[in-house]
């Protein structure tokens, strides 16, 4: 039976980090559970945490997560415009999954040339809406950045194009929720304000009954219903969009488990590479660039980086580079992924200054390879097997640069790409290796291989991350269902508000 056509729904925010992405993820799962065919959409995303679509194109990781919650493959139409910061003022612009150059913030937000980008994001949405019902849209930052109104591609102007019903999400945990909601709505123009169909209060702590008078006050002030008050939770794990979340994971080594230190880079990207290990009961994983904590690790992981040379310079300056080399010399396993793999070589060269002003730096010297930053960005999904194993694994590549053995050095690949003659990475020995493949640590067989030398520490326990994620999406959907007026939301989306 064909489900009724629903309006698109946009979760916009009173500010950044109010929980829009997670709420949108929850509703993608709710609509799927209720028999609809939802798809996520965010016109413009700014994040270093990206993902490769099945077609080998690049989108923000948040929309890939939301697509997973909706039970569909991710696609560039779900996030047609991705900004990947490379400095405080400059970002790489990824349009429809492909790099379209670097832009500084001032030039990017100028009105000149914005219509081309606006057409691109509108076209992506229009294609998506023809295939899915409903489209679950996500805004960015605050909806009331009035100084950027004419150049805004992602909030109310996008909602107006889509004919979307907008739910304004506010974070009560940070305080000032009344001013945030009322001020955000009052700063909109009349046309924008007509699209605000509801208010959702997020991250509530305490007895919700005490906030009931506040709900009525907000509704009277804003002339819009409060569709839900969603409590703060601690027992549901959804992949985070921003590396801000890593601040809560900078704990110390723990006795009795396999201690894994992920080096905390300034331009760290794709930190979700480590989510499976983080949930593994055999493992205690923490993020650090503290030299003493690095020395306590059994395994040191070097993550991806948007600015490899800049991060290499910083690792040498703060002593972390020397600590990593010493930790390996004293028995720790060191593994690099993508930019981390580049860091482990003899040197990193950027003769065309694609990343910045630094043209060359010596690497950590742990692997007999050298990297040259050049050429087009590679984005692709891959199936592979790894050194010493015939198990089939999956992952994806997102990188710029070519890494090769040093002169007279022999190839010693870590992985072998299925269906191709191509290999990847470098395997020096079981304690020292690198790869360009993100997601390699989502494969249980590779995790078992990585942890095997330390298997005598804790009891052996396997962890199924895919099943775990599905359980978390269902828990999130249940949590939201329990605290929003879902019949009211369906009524709004059916055009009967």
Candidate list 75, 338, 393, 483, residue with the active-site label: 338
Q: Other C-beta atoms within 10 Å of 281: how many?
A: 12
Is pLDDT of 1 > 70? no
* Closest CA relative to residue 44, chosen from 133, 146, 157, 186: 157
Q: Other C-beta atoms within 10 Å of 383: how many?
A: 12
Q: What are the tokens at 265? A: 């880079």
Task: Kindly give the residue spans of alpha helices, DSSP state H, lying in 253-334.
Answer: 275-279, 291-295, 308-318, 320-329
Domains and CATH numbers, the chain: 9-237+471-493 (3.40.50.300), 257-457 (3.40.50.880)
Residue 257: predicted pLDDT: 87
Residue 271: predicted pLDDT: 86
pLDDT band per the 50, 70, 90 thresholds, residue 84: confident
pLDDT band per the 50, 70, 90 thresholds, residue 189: very high
pLDDT digit string (tens) for 389-433? 999 999 999 988 899 999 877 899 999 999 898 999 999 999 999
C-alpha 13/C-alpha 279 separation (Å) is 30
Q: Is 74 a catalytic residue?
A: no
Mean pLDDT, residues 49-58 taken together: 91
Mean pLDDT, residues 5-26 taken together: 96
Mean pLDDT, residues 245-252 taken together: 53
Is pLDDT of 108 > 80? no
Mean pLDDT, residues 345-355 taken together: 90
Whether the CB-CB separation of 353 and 283 falls below 8 Å is answered with no
- The DSSP bridge partners found for residue 258 are 283
Q: Other C-beta atoms within 10 Å of 95: how many?
A: 18
The 3-state DSSP composition of the chain as helix, strand, coil percent (nearest 5) reads 35, 25, 35
Is this prediction's pTM over 0.85? no
C-alpha 251/C-alpha 87 separation (Å) is 27
Q: Is 338 a catalytic residue?
A: yes
Residue 10: predicted pLDDT: 98
CA dist 344 → 337, 424, 425 (Å): 10, 15, 11
Q: Taking all residues of the chain, what is their mean pLDDT, rounded to a whole number?
A: 90
CA dist 178 → 101, 169, 186, 488 (Å): 41, 12, 12, 22
Tell me the chain's radius of gyration from C-alpha atoms.
23
User: What three-state secondary structure class fits 5?
Assistant: coil
């Amino acid at each position: 039976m064909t489900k009724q056509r629903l309006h698109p729904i946009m979760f916009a925010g009173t500010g950044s980090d109010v929980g829009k992405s997670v709420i949108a993820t929850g509703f993608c799962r709710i609509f799927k559970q209720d028999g609809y065919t939802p798809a996520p959409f965010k016109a413009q995303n700014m994040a270093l945490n990206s993902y490769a679509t099945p077609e080998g194109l690049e989108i923000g990781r948040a929309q890939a997560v939301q697509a997973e919650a909706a039970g569909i493959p991710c696609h560039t139409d779900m996030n047609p415009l991705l900004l990947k910061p490379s400095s405080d003022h400059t970002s790489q612009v990824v349009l429809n999954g492909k790099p379209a150059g670097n832009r500084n913030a001032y030039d990017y937000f100028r009105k000149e040339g914005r219509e081309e980008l606006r057409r691109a994001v509108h076209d992506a949405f229009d294609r998506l809406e023809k295939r899915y019902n409903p489209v679950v849209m996500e805004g960015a930052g605050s909806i009331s950045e009035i100084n950027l109104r004419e150049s805004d591609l992602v909030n109310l102007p996008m909602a107006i194009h889509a004919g979307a019903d907008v739910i304004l999400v506010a974070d009560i945990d940070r305080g000032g929720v009344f001013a945030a909601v009322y001020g955000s709505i009052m700063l909109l123009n009349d046309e924008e304000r007509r699209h605000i169909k509801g208010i959702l209060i997020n991250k509530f702590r305490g007895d919700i009954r005490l906030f009931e008078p506040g709900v009525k006050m907000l509704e009277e002030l804003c002339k819009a219903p409060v569709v839900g008050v969603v409590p703060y939770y601690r027992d549901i794990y959804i992949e985070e969009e921003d590396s801000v979340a890593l601040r809560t994971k900078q704990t110390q080594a723990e006795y009795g488990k396999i201690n894994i230190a992920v080096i905390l880079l300034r331009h760290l990207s794709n930190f979700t590479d480590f989510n499976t290990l983080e949930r593994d009961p055999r493992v205690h994983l923490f993020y650090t660039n503290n030299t003493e904590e690095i020395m306590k690790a059994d395994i040191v992981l070097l993550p991806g980086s948007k600015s490899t040379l800049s991060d290499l310079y910083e690792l040498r300056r703060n002593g972390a580079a020397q600590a990593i080399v010493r930790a390996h010399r004293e028995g720790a396993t060191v593994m690099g992924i993508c930019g981390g793999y580049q860091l482990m070589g003899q040197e990193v060269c950027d003769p065309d200054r694609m990343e910045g002003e630094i043209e060359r730096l010596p690497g950590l010297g742990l692997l007999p390879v050298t990297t040259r930053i050049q050429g087009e960005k590679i984005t692709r999904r891959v199936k592979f097997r790894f050194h010493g194993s015939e198990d089939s694994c999956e992952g994806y590549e997102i990188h710029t640069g070519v890494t090769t053995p040093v002169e007279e050095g022999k190839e010693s690949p870590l992985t072998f790409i299925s269906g191709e003659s191509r290999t990847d990475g470098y395997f020096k020995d079981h304690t020292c290796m690198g790869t360009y493949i993100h997601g390699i640590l989502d494969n249980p067989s590779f995790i078992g291989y990585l942890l095997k030398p330390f298997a005598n520490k804790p009891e052996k326990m396997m962890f199924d991350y895919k099943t775990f994620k599905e359980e978390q999406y269902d828990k999130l959907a249940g949590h939201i269902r329990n605290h929003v007026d879902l019949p009211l939301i369906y009524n709004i989306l059916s055009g009967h508000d």
